[in-house]
Amino acid sequence: MHDYAICDLCDAHEDRLQQGRLQIVEPEYQIYGGRRHFSGPVFTLKVFEDNSLVRSLLEQPGLGRVLVVDGGASRRCALLGGNLAALAADNGWAGLLICGSVRDRQELDAAEVGIRALGLHPRKSTKRGLGGQGDVGTALHFSGVRIRCGDWLYADEDGILISDEPLPPA
């Protein structure tokens, strides 16, 4: 259950939008996963065409967090598929925002987790060794926003917001 609507949050927090404390992610993301609405504190990851670290993080307790993955906007392979979406749901992640591609649409939609990604690609990512390569917990910049660990992400059918702190319901 959610207690917000993105449009209402924007209307109620216009001052925060003007101050840059509330940001709107560019509307280029497709909706996947069994949750259409999701929110939670952000944990960040930066990788490129290697989902080893995505798996490693999703194997850990999510604690209601949202994993935000800067995949360099690659459309050459998927960083998340059905198995990892199920793992995310089982481990208590609220959702994922992936600046990259995903695969296994039916399996993604069956997982009780929110997923936003640029699109679908049938090819799996590479695996560059144990643990993978990338930056965990780093500040990210993509799709017109700056995202840091500890920020809050709110998503519904109308869009995605990034806030520097939890927002009261509008």
Token pair listed for 125: 């990512």
Is 83 marked as binding a ligand? yes
Is 79 marked as binding a ligand? no
Q: Where are the domains of the chain?
A: 6-163
Token pair listed for 75: 């459309």
Question: By the 8 A CB rule, do 22 and 163 touch?
Answer: yes
Mean pLDDT, rounded, of the chain: 95
pLDDT digits (tens, 9 = 90+) for 102-142: 999 999 999 999 999 999 999 999 887 666 689 999 999 99
- Which stretch of DSSP H or E encloses residue 15? helix 14-19
Is the predicted pLDDT of residue 9 greater than 70, yes or no? yes
Q: Report the Cα 103 to chain-centroid distance in Å.
A: 15
- pTM attached to this predicted model: 0.96
Q: How far is CA 143 from CA 3, 4, 44, 69, in A?
A: 25, 22, 15, 12
Is 81 marked as binding a ligand? yes
Just give the CATH number of 6-163. 3.50.30.40
Confidence band (pLDDT; 50, 70, 90) for 12?
very high
CA distance 103 to 81: 5
Sequence-distant (6+) residues with CB within 8 A of 50 are: 125, 126, 127, 128, 132, 133, 134
Token pair listed for 140: 């990210």
What distance, in Å, lies between the first and last C-alpha atoms of the chain? 15
Is 91 marked as binding a ligand? no
